[in-house]
Structure 1
Amino acid sequence: MTLTRRQTLASALGATAALSMPARLFAQSGPILHASWGGGVGDTWTVAFAGPYTADTGTAVRIVELPNPEAQFRAHAGDPQYHTGIGTFVQGVNMMRDDMLETFSLDEIPNMRNIDEKYWLKTEDGRIAGVTPYFAYYGIAVNTNEASVEDFQSWKSVADPKWKGRLGMTRPIYLSTYDLTILAKAAGDDEYDTAGGMELLKGMARNVLNVSNSLAQQNTMLERGEVAAMPFYSVRVWSLNEAGVDYVKILIPEEGALLLPYVIFAPKGVKDRGMVADWLNHIASAAPQERGAALSGYIPANRDAVATSEIKAKLGGEYDDLRARLYQPDWGYIAENQKDIVAAIDQMLATL
């Protein structure tokens, strides 16, 4: 019998109904508390990761949906309220540099051996500070009722004056890490020299209808055709397509798209450290990452993960083929310079 996504979610959520108990009770009774972003991300973690782990080990995992897990980790530094949480790679780098993360040896998380080391969040002495379970990518989303996919075969297209008032754009905090980085590459530079990227970003800003404050707003802008296109996340377009919005497409321009690794980390001083290490090792394995790909279009980090024919059709090829078209910048450098970059973007936008 084939189950729909809704039925699959309902089944998994029903199987983990006991996990809806208050967080403080869980912290006392032992189940793992995992801080996640909400919406589809929380659903994916319940179905693809937490539910199967509980079934296999008998250890309950509660997915706690939060607007920003990093903020909670920082607010409770020294008194962890969660065992693990998700963040962007830049967030992980910043917390690691602030000595806020628990670290693990490779022997404690052996499945990391099947993840390319360039995707590891690790300390200078090689200890693991975070597990990368999967990637998304940052490309150009196009509403094909408003524009043609051929119109955006290059990142430079977003600066074309013909799109004045027809593009969407995110906030400077994300422009600094994502948009500027890939636009710099399109200009022939990189994250270390972003002058050309800043000029393209300025051109895009002149074409923007408005700067969106949330992913939900960006989804709406694209779905309703309020904008013809905007830089956007592959998994968000995947969700739109799965919901029947097939006229919104995600493109990888000729210069490539930006690879976005996500990371799962544990706060320094986390309780039940051995249990947490086992949970992280499960996250690093191929099977849950394959389930995450089927549910939400995430690209597995574990090299043993196999793409089904359906996944290959939706992604346009094997996982390795897709990774080859994605640009992996120096996230450590970007994180270290983020404040200055945000300030420069704010100043640029103020002059328009």
Structure 2
Amino acid sequence: MKVTRRQTMAGLMGAAASLSLPGRLSAQAGPILHASWGGGVGDTWTGAFAGPFEAETGTSVRIVEVPNPEAQFRAQAGNPQYHTGIGTFVQGVNLMRDDMLETFDIEEIPAMKNIPEEYWLKTEDGRLAGITPYFAYYGIAVNTDEASIEDFSSWKSLADEKWKGRLGMTRPIYLSTYDLTILSKAAGGDEKNTDGGMKLLEGMSRNVLNVSNSLAQQNTMLERGEVAAMPFYSVRVWSLNEAGVDHVKIVIPDEGALLLPYVVVAPKGVSDRERVAEWLNFIASPEPQERGMEISGYIPANSEAEATDEIRAKLGMTFQEVKDRLYQPDWGYIAAHQKETVAEIDQMLANL
């Protein structure tokens, strides 16, 4: 297993941050508190963002690992305990629509000017409701001991009957957001025209050995060859490869892969707003995003971020070449129709 010094330090710093948490969190004084998913995500935020920010500005940032930062923001509405938190773009859209986020003028966070507006979470009047730190993508993970990369050069391959009992699949909440969206694109539609995508999703579902309930289970299924392939996250495959698992590869099919932007948001009424804006601007800048790529494989959103020769070799392309092969849907539309889409998928699966 190849572990860089930066990864080792990130893990140690993440563990130390978790152990030093007070019994009751308060965002009214002291360090900036940033809510993060746990595990590798927390380590990435400590090593790539929080540690360097403190070294540069003298302001301490504590990474607090929680199961779901969005749920924490909702539970603490009106009395926020965190200054910022990470979320998916859909979660950010939902929080913004529910008027739960602090917004900022672009001049308060000028580093966002180097991030294409298609990756911005913004209000109707153009104010920033979230900062884009990086993105991953949703492609097809293949166990090359069980299948070849060429077998999955198209998303349509997942519906081929020859893979019956040999594929993995995630839960309907994610199928509605990710799988159906990219399958619809492959079928000639998009997130607003999903008839073809539903047919492909039904075909894929008939080939599934197991619907997994966790990323850990999906990792195990792929690593052990319990499944030959499944739609999966680029950063999860990156982590497997960094841990020495070379027989699991991520494929960007001919129709492209789904771009998954993440957002960092601040709860409405957050204290220390000026410090928070400085922290958010740092997150949007290229250098910490480059470090996040080295640690966890997240693609920088800032157009000024540069890939080292080593990173380009691992990706097989430049950052821009990756972006050119990804599909960015209308996440606002997906978020607005998520409940009905989940219900439709549940019904389809029940009828198989």
Report what 2:76 is aligned to.
Answer: 76
Report what 1:221 is aligned to.
Answer: 221
> How far apart are the structure 2 equivalents of 1:256 and 1:13?
35
Does the aligned pair in 2 maintain the 1:34–1:62 contact within 8 Å?
yes
SS in 2 for 1:250: strand
> How far apart are the structure 2 equivalents of 1:237 and 1:108?
36
Report what 1:131 is aligned to.
Answer: 131
User: Against the structure 1 CA distance between its residues 135 and 17, is the aligned structure 2 distance closer, same or farther, given a 3 Å change threshold?
Assistant: closer
SS in 2 for 1:24: coil
Note if 1:8 corresponds to 2:16: no
> How far apart are the structure 2 equivalents of 1:159 and 1:21?
47
SS in 1 for 2:227: coil
Which aligned pairs between 1:111-260 and structure 2 lie closer than 5 A? 111-260=111-260
Does the aligned pair in 1 maintain the 2:27–2:271 contact within 8 Å?
no
Does the aligned pair in 1 maintain the 2:167–2:209 contact within 8 Å?
yes
> How far apart are the structure 2 equivalents of 1:154 and 1:106?
39
The amino acid that maps onto 1:128 is L
> How far apart are the structure 2 equivalents of 1:172 and 1:25?
34
SS in 2 for 1:223: helix
Which aligned pairs between 1:296-307 and structure 2 lie closer than 5 A? 296-307=296-307
Note if 1:314 corresponds to 2:314: yes
The amino acid that maps onto 2:21 is M
- Mark the runs of 5 or more structure 1 residues left unpaired by the alignment: none
The amino acid that maps onto 1:88 is T
User: Against the structure 1 CA distance between its residues 291 and 23, is the aligned structure 2 distance closer, same or farther, given a 3 Å change threshold?
Assistant: farther
The amino acid that maps onto 1:297 is G
Report what 1:328 is aligned to.
Answer: 328
Does the aligned pair in 1 maintain the 2:141–2:248 contact within 8 Å?
yes
> How far apart are the structure 1 equivalents of 2:341 and 2:184?
13
Q: How far apart are residue 317 of structure 1 and its match?
A: 1.2
Q: How far apart are residue 237 of structure 1 and its match?
A: 0.1
> How far apart are the structure 2 equivalents of 1:23 and 1:119?
36
**Larger deviation, residues 284-293 vs 57-66:** 57-66
> How far apart are the structure 1 equivalents of 2:101 and 2:259?
23
Q: How far apart are residue 196 of structure 1 and its match?
A: 0.1
Report what 1:283 is aligned to.
Answer: 283
> How far apart are the structure 2 equivalents of 1:243 and 1:260?
23
TM-score, normalised relative to structure 2: 0.96
The amino acid that maps onto 2:294 is A
> How far apart are the structure 1 equivalents of 2:225 and 2:19?
39
Q: After superposition, what is the alpha-carbon deviation per residue over 1:269-319, rounded to whole angstroms, capped at 9, x for unaligned?
A: 111111111100000000000000111111101111010001111111111
Report what 1:96 is aligned to.
Answer: 96
User: Against the structure 1 CA distance between its residues 93 and 3, is the aligned structure 2 distance closer, same or farther, given a 3 Å change threshold?
Assistant: closer
TM-score, normalised relative to structure 1: 0.96
Q: How far apart are residue 107 of structure 1 and its match?
A: 1.2
SS in 2 for 1:184: helix
Q: How far apart are residue 25 of structure 1 and its match?
A: 5.6
Q: How many residues align?
A: 350
User: Against the structure 1 CA distance between its residues 18 and 321, is the aligned structure 2 distance closer, same or farther, given a 3 Å change threshold?
Assistant: closer
The amino acid that maps onto 1:188 is G
**Larger deviation, residues 24-33 vs 152-161:** 24-33
- Mark the runs of 5 or more structure 2 residues left unpaired by the alignment: none
The amino acid that maps onto 1:344 is E
> How far apart are the structure 2 equivalents of 1:21 and 1:100?
25
SS in 1 for 2:85: strand
Percent of residue pairs identical: 76
Does the aligned pair in 2 maintain the 1:169–1:212 contact within 8 Å?
yes
RMSD, aligned CA: 1.6
The amino acid that maps onto 2:112 is M
